[in-house]
Amino acid sequence: MPRYRLLVEYNGTPFVGWQRQDNGASVQGVLEAAVIKLCGHRIAIYAAGRTDAGVHATGQVAHVDLPKDYPAETVRAALNYHMSPHPVAVVEAEEVGDDFHARFSAIGRSYLYRILNRRAPPALDLHRVLWLPMDLDVAAMNEAAQRLIGHHDFSTFRARDCQAQSPMKTLDRLTATRVGEEIHVVAEARSFLHHQVRNMVGTLQLVGRGNWSADRMAEALEARDRRAGGPTAKPGGLYLTGVKY
């Protein structure tokens, strides 16, 4: 059973999320249906990050064990052919050893959160950005973000249904930068709690509006209590951009 590592891009808008669920189409389901068409077998695909409904990916990584030794190029082309017209694409495929696991071998995940910061709502980027029309102080957001860097108990930014054993995580990067009409928040860590990026962005938004200081952000982290944090930012602005191994 040769193992293939897949670099996957998708538009999360029409999906219930990465994971197969009873209530709608999932990215995993679309990929697994294509694998059945390729080789006739129902085979589970594993991903580095189980993104939520509406969350996009430009750099998701998954793996699958196929019953036969296909050229990697054939795997990529055949899966893409069978997935059309779903907005999911295998950008690269590569044969890897049995010891590679998309989720457990990962040592870093990168996310981008896009905020459209202009008076007019998004048209071309509907469901791809969070629209915030008010003035936002990006320098203040970036300063407050630095208070979250490091090894901490991130309970304040953890979803209630998060299944991680511990709320302790090490945040390696959290930056807010203005890019044209947008503000880009980039987050990097070995791994994240459920909703951690969206909860951090929702809280940074309060700083950007001038409601919160950087000190308040540090206090919220200290509180280790979800009620001390800001709201959960919408899924459509979030992109899983890369996974490190």
Q: Which residues are catalytic?
A: 52
Q: Tell me which of 33, 50, 72, 87 binds a second copy, using CB under 8 A.
A: 87
Q: Is 90 in the site for a second copy (CB under 8 A)?
A: yes
Footprint on residues 125-184 left by a second copy (CB under 8 A) = 126, 128
Q: Is 77 in the site for a second copy (CB under 8 A)?
A: yes
What is the distance between the alpha carbons of residues 80 and 35, in angstroms, rounded to a whole number? Answer: 10
Q: Give the total of residues touching a second copy (CB under 8 A).
A: 25
Q: How many CA within 13 A on the CB side of residue 244?
A: 9
* Secondary structure in 3-state letters for 82-108: HHCCCCEEEEEEEEECCCCCCCCCCCE
Q: Is 37 in the site for a second copy (CB under 8 A)?
A: no
* Segment lying near a second copy (by CB under 8 A), choices 123-131, 154-162, 167-175, 194-202: 123-131
β-pair partners for 111: 187, 240
What is the distance between the alpha carbons of residues 203 and 145, in angstroms, rounded to a whole number? Answer: 9
What is the distance between the alpha carbons of residues 238 and 202, in angstroms, rounded to a whole number? Answer: 12
Smallest separation (angstroms) from a second copy to the CB of 121? 5
Q: Tell me which of 40, 121, 150, 210 binds a second copy, using CB under 8 A.
A: 121
Name the site residues for a second copy (rule: CB under 8 A).
9-11, 56, 58, 76-77, 80, 84-85, 87-92, 118-124, 126, 128
